Structure formats: C-alpha cells, structure tokens
Structure 1
C-alpha cells in the first residue's frame, strides 16, 4: 500500500458518505439531476475500488426516500434528524482504518457543512466533491464550500477524487472507473 499523504485519499483508508439525496429535494435544490448523476458516478467508482459507502436520509417520513437514480439500493440508508451525518455514520467511521472521508450530497449549507465540520473536529481528512454538492440557494452553496475550505476540508471534483484514489493510469481498475 502506498504511503499516506495529506490531501490524498487512499482506497483502503477512505469512506464515502452520501448525504440526503431524497425525493423531496428534486424540485427545489439547484442542479439536482446533475448532482445526483455526479454522486452516482462517485459512488460507482468507490464501489469498484472497494471504498465503503453509506447513504443518509434526513427525516425520510417527511422528505421521502433516496432517489433511485443514485443507484444506492444495495447500500445501508440510515435515517437521521441531526444535520450532521457523523452520528448516523458512526459504525462506518468507527473503523480505525478510516482516515479520510469523501463527502457529497445536499444541502451544502446544512447537512454537508455540519458533517464536514464534525469530521474535521474528529481529526479525519474531509474531501468534498464540490460538483456533487448543492443547496436550494447558490449563495448558500458558495458560502458553505468556502467555510468548509476555511475549516480544512479539501474541495475537489468527482473525477479528481477518483483519479486520486487510482493514482496511476496503469491501475488495473482504471478503465472501469474512468
């Protein structure tokens, strides 16, 4: 296994958290179809590379279930009422191998931000897939991303994160992921 480097997630020590991509947000969150498509690509790449993933649902009895086009039907979908995903993801994050978390979903200024801040406070590296994060307001999204960066999170894109996990075009799973 390659040595750990700050800002460089490794498949064996990373986890993916997908935040609240639920039916009720479909009509109100900016660029929702694109956000879901990019999150689905990130999820699929993580599956191929063996990165464990978890999906949360914010009060599913009110906001509905995870949208099917995410392709997460086989994953644990953990209901929550807290904005941060950290409590809901405790079983996954309790694994001592996990040192970095890839984060995507909605809403940037609420659940994604509070999750990032809590994970950073716990000493985990946080990698936000900015092209798979949104809010109802683009001002809220922009300020939340800025706040996460100020707090120490790494902002990236889905493709960049997948390439960081792969490290090399000679990786045996490069074609499947790219």
Structure 2
C-alpha cells in the first residue's frame, strides 16, 4: 500500500519528561523524532499529541513541545491513545484513514494504540526509528507483533520521501535538507 499525504494524520505517543530519560538510545530517538515532526509539518500532516498522566510523567519533552505546541494535545490514563474519546474523535473527524505513529513505549502505549486503531478501521504506520522502549527486546517484540497484526513499518526518511512523492514537490528541498 502506498502511503499518501492526503490520507494521513500523525499521532505522537507519550514522549514525556519523566519517562524519556529511561528510554534506550534516547538521543538518537529524539533527533529522529524532531526530523520526522519537522517534515510532517512541512507536508501539512495533521498532528495529535498524546500525554500519559501528565501529573506523574510530566509534559512532552521540550524539544518536541516547541514543535507541537500549536497542535491538539490529549491527556490520557489508558495506555492506548484510542481510550481517550476526545483523541480518537479528533482522529476520526479528519476523515483520514492512515495514522502515522511514533513515541514511547513501543511495547505498551504505542502497541495498544496501533492495535486499537486497526480495530477502529484505520491503517497504522509505525515509524520504527521513531519508537523505543526501555529494553531493546520489548521494542523488537512489539514491532514483530504489530507487523503480524497488519501495521505497516517504515522509517522516518522513507516515509517523508514517500509522502513528498516527487522532487518537484515544493517541500522537497526542505525535506531533503532535514534528512541530510
């Protein structure tokens, strides 16, 4: 299946201050997430930010918060972003069927969100270099399970160029400079 920009929304999952320091390879993850979000903004993909129990886990990390402050934020206590009726309603209201996912932790909140999105009739796209967990084995196992369930795996660079489609796209130079 071809992923088309006009069909997509982006859901950011729980990249929060008190959890992020414990995530494996967090520096690379943060860099990748920044690039992904900057690219999705250039492509004008709708963005939804989810935060798990902010009182306990804190706000979205500062580098991403400054990129996403102007987009809808949803606080949740369920692990799945779909457990928050406002968040799920916002995704449904776009009329788009492809949901790009990135965040932490892959084996808990990202996994449960993707599985619920499948049940709701959406096609989740997992940006595998923009998700992680505290333990590598948890991430690897979750990605395998999600692929078996029907989630499409990709990387941020592959996705951004797939959404751009053509070197004549007005945002091509911006996307190209982001991934260098």
Report the TM-score, using the length of structure 2 for normalisation: 0.91
User: What's the counterpart of residue 147 of structure 1?
Assistant: 145
| Cα distance, 1:96 vs structure 2 | 5.6
Give, in whole Å, the separation in 2 of the partners of 1:130 and 1:76. 23
Please list every run of 5 or more consecutive structure 2 residues that lacks an aligned counterpart in the other structure: none
35-44 or 132-141: which moved more? 35-44
Please list every run of 5 or more consecutive structure 1 residues that lacks an aligned counterpart in the other structure: 1-5
- Alignment RMSD, CA only? 1.2
User: What's the counterpart of residue 177 of structure 1?
Assistant: 175
2:72 is the counterpart of 1:79: no
1:132-143 equivalent positions in 2, closer than 5 A: 132-143=130-141
User: What's the counterpart of residue 106 of structure 1?
Assistant: 104
Deviations 1:78-101 (A, max 9, x none): 110011112432233212631101
Q: Which segments of structure 1 move beyond 6 Å, counting only runs of 4 or more? A: none
1:7-156 equivalent positions in 2, closer than 5 A: 8-70=2-64, 71-88=67-84, 89-95=87-93, 97-156=95-154
- Kept in 2, the 8 Å contact 1:37–1:69? The answer is no
SS of 2:139's equivalent in the other structure is: helix
Give, in whole Å, the separation in 2 of the partners of 1:48 and 1:101. 17
Q: State the aligned residue count.
A: 172
After superposition, the Cα gap between the structure-2 partners of 1:57 and 1:96, relative to the gap in structure 1 and judged at 3 Å, is closer
State which of 140, 159, 162 in structure 2 corresponds to 1:161.
159
| Cα distance, 1:46 vs structure 2 | 1.1
| Higher relative helix content | 2
Give, in whole Å, the separation in 2 of the partners of 1:77 and 1:26. 18
- Kept in 2, the 8 Å contact 1:16–1:101? The answer is yes
Deviations 1:81-136 (A, max 9, x none): 01111243223321263110100000000000001111111221111000000001
